[in-house]
């Protein structure tokens, strides 16, 4: 697409959801460095997410993690979000931080623990109903540390039964995204370690179940754009958790470690016409900001995604197809590299001006006084939920 107006229209329509937990204090198991002004409850996380949306025009929803974001009245939280100009996005159940879950949650050998975990997943569907959320985002920490610790096959049966019970509870317009992760917290086997396992469970469940690709959850060297392309082809790509990794599940800002990989993923999305909100691929961030200030880090992340997508939209599709068809290996590669090498920042600044936004959302944030306000208003900010 070389029509700049069309590129602007496509990027402007794209939605990128931010995660509530990225606004809270986070760290590693070695140390959480507390920051001033971080939210003390779910309402303040929603307020920060709304600030990111006001400045970028691109982040109109915030994901919740339950019970990290537990409130008495979820409908009230949704009303608060709407008043702030955003919506409640994906609901993320948490079945990994209770002592009962040492040996797993829905795959646990004990039926009582499985029941407790499934009930939490069902409660999260209730929260979807109360907030208007359309996505249940399921990530399970289930797995084993040693060969023989439990039956891999039996755990798959328990997993299938649990997912099926929750799937049956989904209402119209609601869907379940099944996330996978190669390792951690378990180091011998994870019950959902890869996209193939997630895909197989989603196919068995039905149309409302799709795979969630967290860009930080693969073995080093995995060709993520390949699996994105395959999942798109089967209509089973439900969404992303975007972040960057250098080593493992680092949860650094998307586009920071390898902007070229993000561009290659964006290219597959553009090729499949999956950037449009109507394509229902949920673009979500899953990051923590251990050292950097949280709100500007999330703004930066949104801009990084927009830049990668704009470059992918600028790929000369006709020239690429011609080079591919004629076997011009270097020529085809050059078409992609030309698009990647361009500077789209002036185009995106123009887009923001046309949207009535500041062309530089990070500078606008620093000028806004918001950081100073939250630092003086909020004392005793909440930890994101993990990393202590
Ligand atoms: C797990 O590593 C994960 O990516 C899942 O999406 C969790 O819900 C999230 O991180 C937050 O810890
Ligand atoms: Mn994730
Ligand atoms: Mn993760």
Confirm or reject: Cβ of 286 under 6 Å from ligand 1.
Answer: yes
Confirm or reject: Cβ of 218 under 6 Å from ligand 1.
Answer: no
- Nearest CA, atom 6, ligand 1: 139
d(CA 332, CA 338): 10
- Nearest CA, atom 10, ligand 1: 286
How many residues would you count in the chain? 388
d(CA 340, CA 221): 20
Label the pairing between strands 189-190 and 143-144: antiparallel
- Minimum-distance ligand 1 atom for the alpha carbon of 184: 2
pLDDT for position 386: 52
d(CA 276, CA 283): 11
Nearest ligand by distance to the CA of 288? 1
pLDDT digits (tens, 9 = 90+) for 287-330: 999 999 999 999 999 999 999 999 999 999 999 999 999 999 99
* 353 Cα–ligand 2 center, Å: 33
Confirm or reject: Cβ of 69 under 6 Å from ligand 1.
Answer: no
The percentage of the chain sitting over the pLDDT mark of 70, rounded to a whole number, equals: 98
d(CA 105, CA 95): 6
pLDDT digits (tens, 9 = 90+) for 152-200: 999 999 999 999 999 999 999 999 999 999 999 999 999 999 999 999 9
Q: Which residues pair with 137 in a beta bridge?
A: 177
* 147 Cα–ligand 1 center, Å: 25
253 contacts 287 by C-beta, under 8 angstroms? yes
Residues 6+ apart with CB under 8 A from 239: 90, 135, 137, 177, 210, 212, 213, 281, 282, 283, 284
* 316 Cα–ligand 1 center, Å: 36
Tokens 């069902």, residue?
Answer: 122
φ, ψ for residue 168 (rounded to 5)? -65, -20
pLDDT digits (tens, 9 = 90+) for 90-146: 999 999 999 999 999 999 999 999 999 999 999 999 999 999 999 999 999 999 999
**Cβ–Cβ contacts within 10 Å for residue 359, how many?**
16
- Which stretches of 222-280 are DSSP H helices? 224-233, 259-271
- Nearest CA, atom 3, ligand 1: 139
- Nearest CA, atom 2, ligand 1: 249
- Minimum-distance ligand 1 atom for the alpha carbon of 212: 6
- Nearest CA, atom 12, ligand 1: 386
* Selection from 118, 79, 86, 84 nearest residue 101 by Cα: 118
SS3 101: helix
- Which stretches of 239-286 are DSSP H helices? 259-271
Predicted confidence band of residue 385 (pLDDT cuts 50, 70, 90): low
- Minimum-distance ligand 1 atom for the alpha carbon of 216: 4
Indicate the top mutation candidate among 176, 214, 252, 288 to test ligand 1's pocket, ranked by most ligand atoms within 8 A of CB. Answer: 214
d(CA 207, CA 193): 21
**Residue 388 pLDDT greater than 70, yes or no:** no
d(CA 11, CA 137): 25
* 333 Cα–ligand 3 center, Å: 32
Distance of CA 274 to the CA centre of its chain: 16
Confirm or reject: Cβ of 92 under 6 Å from ligand 1.
Answer: yes
Tokens 């794209």, residue?
Answer: 14
Token duo for residue 86: 């955003």
CATH of domain 13-314+359-377: 3.20.20.150
- Nearest CA, atom 11, ligand 1: 286
**Cβ–Cβ contacts within 10 Å for residue 328, how many?**
15
**Helix (H) or strand (E) segment spanning residue 6:** helix 4-13
pLDDT for position 2: 65
Confirm or reject: Cβ of 249 under 6 Å from ligand 1.
Answer: yes
- Nearest CA, atom 9, ligand 1: 286
* 286 Cα–ligand 1 center, Å: 7
Render 155-177 in DSSP notation, one character per residue: HHHHHHHHHHHHHHH--TT-EEE
Nearest ligand by distance to the CA of 242? 2
Tokens 């025009």, residue?
Answer: 57
What mean pLDDT is reported for the chain?
Answer: 97
pTM given for the model: 0.97
* 216 Cα–ligand 3 center, Å: 6
Note the ipTM here: 0.99
The percentage of the chain sitting over the pLDDT mark of 90, rounded to a whole number, equals: 97
Token duo for residue 100: 């009962």
* 361 Cα–ligand 2 center, Å: 26
Confirm or reject: Cβ of 250 under 6 Å from ligand 1.
Answer: no
Q: How far is CA 202 from CA 35, 130, 343, in A?
A: 40, 25, 39
* 252 Cα–ligand 1 center, Å: 13
d(CA 355, CA 350): 9
Residues 6+ apart with CB under 8 A from 221: none
Predicted confidence band of residue 379 (pLDDT cuts 50, 70, 90): confident
């Amino acid at each position: 697409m070389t029509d700049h107006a069309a590129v602007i229209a496509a990027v402007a329509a794209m939605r990128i959801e931010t995660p509530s937990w990225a606004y809270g204090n986070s760290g590693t198991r070695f140390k959480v460095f507390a920051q001033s002004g971080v939210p003390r409850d779910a309402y303040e996380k929603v307020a920060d997410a709304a600030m990111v949306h006001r400045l970028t025009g691109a982040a109109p929803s915030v994901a919740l993690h339950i019970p990290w974001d537990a409130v008495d009245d979820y409908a009230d939280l949704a009303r608060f979000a709407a008043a702030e100009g955003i919506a409640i996005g994906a609901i993320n159940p948490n079945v990994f931080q209770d002592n009962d879950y040492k040996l797993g949650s829905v795959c646990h050998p004990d039926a009582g623990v499985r029941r407790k975990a499934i009930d939490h997943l069902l409660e999260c569907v209730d929260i979807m109903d109360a907030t208007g959320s359309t996505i249940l985002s399921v990530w399970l920490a289930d797995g084993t540390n040693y060969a023989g610790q439990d039956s891999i096959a039996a755990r798959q049966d328990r997993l299938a039964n649990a997912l099926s019970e929750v799937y049956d509870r989904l209402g119209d317009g609601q869907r379940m995204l099944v996330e996978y992760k190669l390792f951690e917290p378990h180091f011998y086997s994870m019950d959902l370690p890869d996209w193939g396992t997630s895909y197989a469970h989603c196919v068995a469940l039905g149309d409302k179940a799709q795979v969630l690709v967290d860009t930080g959850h693969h073995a080093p060297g995995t060709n993520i754009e390949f699996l994105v392309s395959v999942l798109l082809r089967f209509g089973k790509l439900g969404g992303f958790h975007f972040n960057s990794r250098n080593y493992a599940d680092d949860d650094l800002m998307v586009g920071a470690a390898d902007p070229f990989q993000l561009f290659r993923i964006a290219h597959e999305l553009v090729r499949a016409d999956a950037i449009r909100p109507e394509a229902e691929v949920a673009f979500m961030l899953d990051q923590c900001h251990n050292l950097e200030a949280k709100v500007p880090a999330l703004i930066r992340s949104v801009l990084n995604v927009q830049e990668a997508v704009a470059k992918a939209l600028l790929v000369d599709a006709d020239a690429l197809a011609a080079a591919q068809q004629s076997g011009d290996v270097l020529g085809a590669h050059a078409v992609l590299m030309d698009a990647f090498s361009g500077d789209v920042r002036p185009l995106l600044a123009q887009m923001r001006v046309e949207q009535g936004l500041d062309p530089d959302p990070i500078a606008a944030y620093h000028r806004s006084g918001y950081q100073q306000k939250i630092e003086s208003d909020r004392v005793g900010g909440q930890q994101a939920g993990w990393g202590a």
